[in-house]
Amino acid sequence: MSFEREDFGLLGPLHLNSIDWANSNHRRSIAASLVQGTYILERDRQEKRQGSQALAPPWWEFFHFKLIRQLVDDADSCVFGAIYEYAPPSSHCNDSIDRSPRYVIAFRGTINKPDSFSRDFSLDIHIIRNGLHQTSRFEIAMKAVRNMVAMVGDSSVWLAGHSLGAAMAMLAGKTIAKTGNFLEAFLFNPPFLSAPIERINYGNVKHGLRFASSFITAGLVLATKGNSQTSQSEDPFFILSAWTPCLFVNPTDHLCSEYIGYFEHRKKMEEIGYGAIERLATQNSLGDLFMSVVRRSAEAAEPLHLLPSAYLTVNLTPSEDFKQAHGIQQWWRPDLHLKCNLYKYK
C-alpha cells in the first residue's frame, strides 16, 4: 500500500539515532528526509490525514526539527515546500552542532496524483523552457528564502530539494547567491536537460561528442555575443562560482546524470589546454544558443542547469530501475557506494 512508502518507521533512516553534523552522510540523509517530509505533507493533505493519522511529522521530528511553515501554491493550494527549524534538546548540544542549520527550506518534486500532478507537470514544462523563474510558485519560494536570510543570515539557512524541488532550490540558491548570500544546498536528482551523452558506454565516443559540442557552443557564443572581454569582477558566472551547492545524482537517472559529464568534461578540457574554449561553452546551452540564432535575439533566460561550482556526489550503487535511480529514498541509505568530487570554476 502507498502509505507503507510514506511511513517513517518502515522506510526512514532509523539508524541515525545519534546525529554528527560534521558527518557528510548524516547531513545528506537528514536533508533528504526533510524533503521526504515535504512530500508526505502534501500526501497527508490529499488523503485528509490529520492529527495522529498524519504520516509526515516523524520525518522531521526524529531529527529534532519543528515545522514552522508550509509553502502553499496559489494555483492549486498544494503544499510544495516547508520551512523547518532545528530545535535540539540541550542534552544533544555538542561541538558538531556548529555544522547544523538553524532553518531548512525544503521543496518536493512532482507527485503523480490527480490533486497535484497537473500543476507540478506544468512547472516541469517551465523548467524545459527555462521559465521556472516566471512562475508564481517560484515567487512564493523565493520570497520565503529572502525573508529567512534577511532574518537570520545566510550561514543559518539550508536549501534542499528533489527533482522539480531541486530545480526550485537551485534557482533560489543561484538567485540569492548573486546578492552575495551563499546558502548551503542539497540538490537531489536535479534535472539537467540535455542529450543523454552520459548514457553512451563508449568513452571515446562520449568524449568526442562533448569535445565537438564545446567547440560548436563556443563558436556560437562568439557569433551571437561577440568577443567582448569581461573582467572577473563583472562576470556573473565567476561571481556565482563562490556558491558551491551539493548535487546528488545517479548515473542511471537520465534526468540528472549529465551533471557527471558536464563537470568531468570541463576538467578534461583544462588538462588538454582548451580551458578557454570550455569556459565559454560551460556558461551556455547549445540548444538555447540555436534558438537565439533562429529568433535573431541574444536575449534569453539563463539555463537553470549551468553551474560554475559544485560538490558532486554520484551514487554508484546499482539501481533496479529508473524509479529507484530517481527516487529520494536512495539518499538516506547507509550502504551507498558513493563517488564525491569538488569542482570549482576558475
Q: Centre a 10 Å sphere on the Cβ of residue 39 and count the other Cβ atoms it contains.
A: 25
Closest residue by Cα to residue 65 from 25, 10, 105, 14: 105
Pairing mode, strands 310-315 and 338-343: antiparallel
d(CA 127, CA 112): 17
Q: What is the CA radius of gyration of the chain?
A: 20
Helix (H, G, I), strand (E, B), or coil: what is residue 273? coil
Helix (H, G, I), strand (E, B), or coil: what is residue 21? coil
Q: Report if residue 330 sits inside a domain.
A: yes
Helix (H, G, I), strand (E, B), or coil: what is residue 84? strand
Q: Report if residue 315 sits inside a domain.
A: yes
Report the percent of the chain where pLDDT is more than 90.
65
Q: Report if residue 126 sits inside a domain.
A: yes
Amino acid, single-letter form, for residue 342: L
Q: Report if residue 64 sits inside a domain.
A: yes
Q: Which residues, at least 6 apart from 26, have a Cβ–Cβ distance to it below 8 Å?
A: 16, 19, 20
Which CATH number belongs to the domain containing residue 315 in this structure?
3.40.50
Dihedral (CA of 346, 243, 167, 312) sign: positive
pLDDT tens digits for 53-69? Answer: 999 999 999 999 999 99
Q: Report if residue 284 sits inside a domain.
A: no
Q: Which residues, at least 6 apart from 40, have a Cβ–Cβ distance to it below 8 Å?
A: 6, 55, 56, 59
pLDDT tens digits for 216-272? Answer: 766 666 666 666 555 565 677 888 989 999 999 999 999 999 999 889 888 887 777
Closest residue by Cα to residue 308 from 277, 344, 340: 344
Give the count of domains, the chain. Answer: 1
Which residue range(s) make up the domain with 161? Answer: 3-89+99-196+236-253+308-343
**β partners of residue 271:** none
pLDDT tens digits for 256-314? Answer: 999 998 898 888 877 777 667 777 777 766 555 555 544 444 445 678 888 999 999 99
- Which helix (H) or strand (E) element contains residue 66? strand 65-72
Q: Report if residue 159 sits inside a domain.
A: yes
pLDDT exceeds 80 at position 98: no
d(CA 104, CA 24): 16
Predicted confidence band of residue 196 (pLDDT cuts 50, 70, 90)? low
Q: Report if residue 299 sits inside a domain.
A: no
Q: Report if residue 109 sits inside a domain.
A: yes
For 28-61, give the DSSP string: HHHHHHHHHHHHHHHHHHHHT--GGG-SSTHHHH
Residue 193's pLDDT is what? 78
Residue 223 φ/ψ region, left for φ over 0, alpha for ψ in the -120 to 50 degree band, beta for the rest: alpha
d(CA 58, CA 52): 11
Residue 228's pLDDT is what? 57
pLDDT tens digits for 148-192? Answer: 999 999 999 999 999 999 999 999 999 999 999 999 999 999 999
pLDDT, the chain, mean: 87
